[in-house]
């Protein structure tokens, strides 16, 4: 295969008709997935656990052979040569058990060396990444002795080692505190802005999806049920608002507003969440803010739609997305 | 696809064309795997090696009393067997456990997503595990030779023989670890393999029944044991020694190749 001949430089990933089923499973893990991901884009895969995100990314990085369909990275077809993915993509899996017993610095250095960087240069890479992600105080500790968040951050550093043109990060911020999470997002953005790196980010965190992604594909049961910018996706359900109520005690029985709300709301103890049409929401709010209901309420919030609302509006069946 | 889908925006890199970075050359990949593995086992290596060496030395010294007066051939077999046992303890038994664990926890994805061959992973891991067995094997050979009153002149054969035994035993350990469906079975298989080397390596072939002697040849590492035993006897049959080491090397390459295939298969489950 030639290095660049016939390659469309603006498309990092071209995915067509991707299928994958596991033996014994009643539904396919990935079904009919088509995606175009532009070079330099921060692209997200959002969906609840079991939606097929990890199976899809394993196919995108050449670790899993699809039952049908094709994946091309910068015009290089993975079905012709799966090693192309390893040469272009740095992949962060959900759990990097292979690195567990290595000290952080050695883990980052080893990852850089495995990607072809010479030893001294790899050591420089490791030092730079350790500084960038604030890993200095734990650099010489074995990963296995670190907290879950610290370990995850060290794994992110390993994925960023040796500057690949594509980063595929499977839930990179799971378990991270807000400071570490922001430093990961900043590192990802820096690589995109300064070096044009393409980033595919798997997440089930709505906040992360809304704040860092250029575009997002929403997955449910192995299918892409929507794919667009977070803003445009939310605009599609813009005629609704989300109302969240926290009752001080059990809500009054027999009140028509409570009964109407009870029909649509998701209940978590005394916390009720409902997505209502704007007109309906105005009506409910008017009643809620008058006695006797206002006296029974501890708190209420009204917010514009989130990607979770988009997900549910598009027929998503699970509601275990994170939004913290 | 839903109607919400749009065309992707123009990438920040404009018309940049991604040039394929080369695959990492095999020696560099192996060196990186070795460095990582040595960094990982550095703390555990010394006690492990101590246990492996002490076990072999203990067996050699114990058997000294049992086989007293049975000639140099028996003594040479015991010294050779206990020397290779040090390698088997680590390279076969522990490596089988390691690969069983890597396979079951999907940790092989880490290596499979790197631009390196499966052979580099197996070779690097095997080399790291085998490398810290060498001092123990040499100590066992030297002490055993002294205890049994064998000639030291040809003891240098231990070095190539132990190296080649390490290759074949590490390859076998990797194969067992990668072939077993569960990590517990990989552990059992590694321990059974080590037991086979212990029994068939240390007991002189002339003391074994015909059938077991035929099976013995197929057990990885036994030909390296025989090569060392031949070298420790007066009137060394050098042709046999070279042939046995060559077959051991070929067997090792075969096992490493098979382990590489199993690793690729394990990733694409």
pLDDT digits (tens, 9 = 90+) for B137-196: 999 999 999 999 998 888 999 999 999 999 999 999 999 999 998 999 999 998 898 888
Q: Hey, is the C-beta of A151 within 8 angstroms of any chain B C-beta? A: no
How many whole angstroms from its chain centre is CA A46? Answer: 5
Percent of residues, chain B, with pLDDT higher than 70: 91
Structure tokens given for A216 = 């997002």
The larger pLDDT score, comparing residue B111 to residue A1, is at B111
Nearest Cα residue to A48 out of A267, A220, A269, A234? A220
Which residues on B lie below 8 Å from A165 (Cβ)? 18
Q: Hey, is the C-beta of A95 within 8 angstroms of any chain B C-beta? A: yes
Which residues on A lie below 8 Å from B263 (Cβ)? none
CB-side neighbour CA atoms (13 Å) of A277? 3
pLDDT above 60: residue B219: yes
How close B95 gets to chain A, by Cα (Å)? 14
Q: Determine the Cα–Cα distance for residues B241 and B255; give it in Å rounded to an integer.
A: 21
- The whole-model pTM stands at 0.81
pLDDT, tens only, A179-202: 898 899 999 999 999 999 999 999
CB-side neighbour CA atoms (13 Å) of B4? 23
Cβ separation of B25 and A214 shorter than 8 Å? no
Nearest by CB to A39, which of B16, B23, B35? B16
Which residues on B lie below 8 Å from A215 (Cβ)? 8-9
Cβ separation of A39 and B39 shorter than 8 Å? no
Q: Hey, is the C-beta of B24 within 8 angstroms of any chain A C-beta? A: yes
Cβ separation of A9 and B17 shorter than 8 Å? yes
How close A261 gets to chain B, by Cα (Å)? 29
Q: Hey, is the C-beta of B115 within 8 angstroms of any chain A C-beta? A: yes
pLDDT above 50: residue A8: no
Q: Determine the Cα–Cα distance for residues B187 and B96; give it in Å rounded to an integer.
A: 6
pLDDT above 80: residue A317: no
Query: What are the CA-CA distances from residue A233 to residues A5, A25, A230, B55, B188 (Å)?
Result: 36, 31, 5, 67, 54
The residue-averaged pLDDT of B112-140 equals 90
pLDDT above 60: residue A41: yes
Residue A322 pLDDT: 60
Cβ separation of A84 and B4 shorter than 8 Å? no
Scan residues 1-20 of A and list those with Cβ closer than 8 Å to B: 1, 3-4, 7, 9-12
Q: Hey, is the C-beta of B104 within 8 angstroms of any chain A C-beta? A: no
Asked which of A258-262, B16-20, B94-98, B264-268 is least confident by mean pLDDT, the reply is B16-20
pLDDT above 60: residue A240: yes
Which residues on A lie below 8 Å from B115 (Cβ)? 83, 86-87, 114-116
- Band of the pLDDT at A1, cuts 50, 70, 90? very low
Residue B65 pLDDT: 80
Nearest by CB to A113, which of B11, B32, B267? B32
The residue-averaged pLDDT of A31-37 equals 94
Scan for tokens 């883990």, then name that residue: A107
Q: Hey, is the C-beta of A106 within 8 angstroms of any chain B C-beta? A: yes
Cβ separation of B6 and A228 shorter than 8 Å? yes
Question: How many residues in chain B?
Answer: 269
Does the ipTM surpass 0.90?
A: no
């Amino acid at each position: 295969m030639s290095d660049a001949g016939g390659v469309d430089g603006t498309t990092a990933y071209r995915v067509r008709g991707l299928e994958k089923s596991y033996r014994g499973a009643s539904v396919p893990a990935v079904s009919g997935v088509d995606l175009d991901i532009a070079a330099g884009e921060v692209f997200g895969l959002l969906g609840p656990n079991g939606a097929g995100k990890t199976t899809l990314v394993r196919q995108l990085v050449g670790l899993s052979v699809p039952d049908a369909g094709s994946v091309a990275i910068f015009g290089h077809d993975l079905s012709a040569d799966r090693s192309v993915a390893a040469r272009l993509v740095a992949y962060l899996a959900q759990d990097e058990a292979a690195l567990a017993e290595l000290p952080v610095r050695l883990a980052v250095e080893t990852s850089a060396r495995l990607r072809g960087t010479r030893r001294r240069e790899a050591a420089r890479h490791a030092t730079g990444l350790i500084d960038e992600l604030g890993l200095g105080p734990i650099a010489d500790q074995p990963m296995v002795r670190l907290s879950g968040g610290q370990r995850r951050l060290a794994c992110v550093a390993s994925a960023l080692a040796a500057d690949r043109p594509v980063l595929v990060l499977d839930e990179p911020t799971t378990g991270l505190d807000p400071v570490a999470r922001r430093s990961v997002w900043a590192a990802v953005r820096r690589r995109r802005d300064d070096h044009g790196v393409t980033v595919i980010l798997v997440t089930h965190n709505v906040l992360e999806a809304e704040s860092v992604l250029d575009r997002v594909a929403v997955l449910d049961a192995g299918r892409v049920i929507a794919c667009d910018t977070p803003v445009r996706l939310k605009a599609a359900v813009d005629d609704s608002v989300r109302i969240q109520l926290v009752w001080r005690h059990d809500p009054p029985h027999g009140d028509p507003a409570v009964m109407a709300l009870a029909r649509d709301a998701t209940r978590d103890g005394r916390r009720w969440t409902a997505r209502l049409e704007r007109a309906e929401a105005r009506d409910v709010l008017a009643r809620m803010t008058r006695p006797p209901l206002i006296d029974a309420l501890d708190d209420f919030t009204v917010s514009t739609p989130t990607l979770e609302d988009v997900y549910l509006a598009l027929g998503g069946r699970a509601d275990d997305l994170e939004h913290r | 696809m839903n109607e919400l889908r749009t065309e992707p925006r123009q990438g920040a890199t404009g018309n940049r064309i991604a040039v394929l970075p080369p695959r990492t050359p095999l020696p560099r990949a192996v060196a990186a795997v070795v460095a990582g593995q040595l960094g990982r086992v550095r703390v555990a290596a010394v006690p492990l090696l101590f246990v492996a060496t002490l076990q072999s030395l203990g067996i050699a010294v114990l058997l000294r009393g049992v086989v007293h007066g049975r000639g140099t051939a028996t003594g040479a077999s015991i010294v050779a067997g206990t020397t290779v046992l040090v390698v088997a303890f680590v390279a076969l038994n522990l490596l089988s456990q390691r690969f069983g664990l890597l396979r079951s926890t999907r940790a092989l994805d880490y290596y499979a997503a790197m631009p390196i061959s499966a052979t580099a992973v197996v070779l690097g891991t095997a080399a790291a595990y085998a490398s810290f067995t060498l001092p123990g094997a040499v100590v066992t050979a030297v002490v055993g030779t002294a205890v049994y009153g064998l000639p030291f002149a040809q003891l240098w054969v231990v070095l190539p023989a132990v190296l080649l035994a390490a290759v074949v035993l590490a390859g076998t350990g990797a194969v067992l670890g990668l072939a077993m469906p569960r990590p517990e079975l990989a552990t059992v298989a590694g321990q059974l393999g080590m037991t086979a080397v212990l029994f068939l390596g240390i007991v002189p072939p002339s003391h074994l029944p015909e059938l077991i002697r035929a099976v013995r040849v197929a057990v990885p590492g036994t030909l390296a044991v025989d090569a060392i035993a031949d070298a420790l006897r007066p009137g060394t049959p050098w042709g046999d020694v070279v042939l046995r080491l060559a077959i051991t090397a070929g067997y090792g390459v075969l096992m490493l190749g098979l382990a590489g295939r199993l690793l690729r298969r394990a990733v694409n489950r």
